[in-house]
Amino acid sequence: MFDADQIAQMFTRDGRYLCARWGRPVAPVIFGLADETLDIFRGVTRAALAHARHPIAETDPEMGANMMSFFVRDWDELAGVPDLGHLTGQDDLPARLAGQGADQYRIFRFDADGGIRACLSFVRIGGALADAHPAELAEGLVMRGLLTFAQDVPPSAGLAALIRAAYDPVMPIAATDPSHALRLSARLTAAGAR
């Protein structure tokens, strides 16, 4: 189980703490996968949201889909995504990701209350992830899209418990004070004692 310091590190980037969860139902859509792999991702997404006790929807009334995952063999393929610059707010995204040798990239958008409004995930499956098992890849991608993790966190039972704790209705939708990590840690300890 994670302690408060470990939790705080997971949500701190450039000295700033941010832990936000979805405040609206998640309406996922996935681009670039074969049908059999797509079914695995859909199943894992439904299971992760059910575990977090958060609703899934066919569509978001404002955006249609609000959890979008794009799978490409090479970052150059993103050039074929219509209005990618408008969607991401980053005109140079494919070149930047290629230059960094990245395998994954995630962008969050937020509602006025600080809750996650949208999550855009980009995954290059032609590199280091080429041999990843689809279910493991799906689990990692979905878990990292449920909270605003500041670092790459590997899926685990502890991480699933942390996500569930953050989605408890008594917890805030978004927090910027690191003391929030103490509350999450306390919820994990209480859940483990049951």
| pLDDT confidence bin for 153, thresholds 50/70/90 | very high
Do both 160 and 79 map to the same domain?
A: no
Do both 115 and 59 map to the same domain?
A: yes
* Mean pLDDT over each residue of the chain, to the nearest integer: 93
Residue 133 has pLDDT above 60, yes or no: yes
Which pLDDT value is given to residue 193? 53
Which pLDDT value is given to residue 82? 87
Record the pTM: 0.93
Which pLDDT value is given to residue 49? 96
| Whether 7 contacts 165, CB under 8 Å | no
Mean pLDDT of the 123-140 span: 85
Q: Which domain does 11 fall in, by range?
A: 1-19+151-194
pLDDT tens digit string along 14-53?
Answer: 999 999 999 999 999 999 998 888 999 999 999 999 999 9
Which pLDDT value is given to residue 194? 55
* Structural domain total, the chain: 2
Do both 73 and 169 map to the same domain?
A: no
Mean pLDDT of the 107-117 span: 97
Question: Can you give the CATH number for the domain in which 43 is found?
Answer: 3.30.379
Mean pLDDT of the 164-189 span: 96
Do both 34 and 124 map to the same domain?
A: yes
Do both 60 and 138 map to the same domain?
A: yes
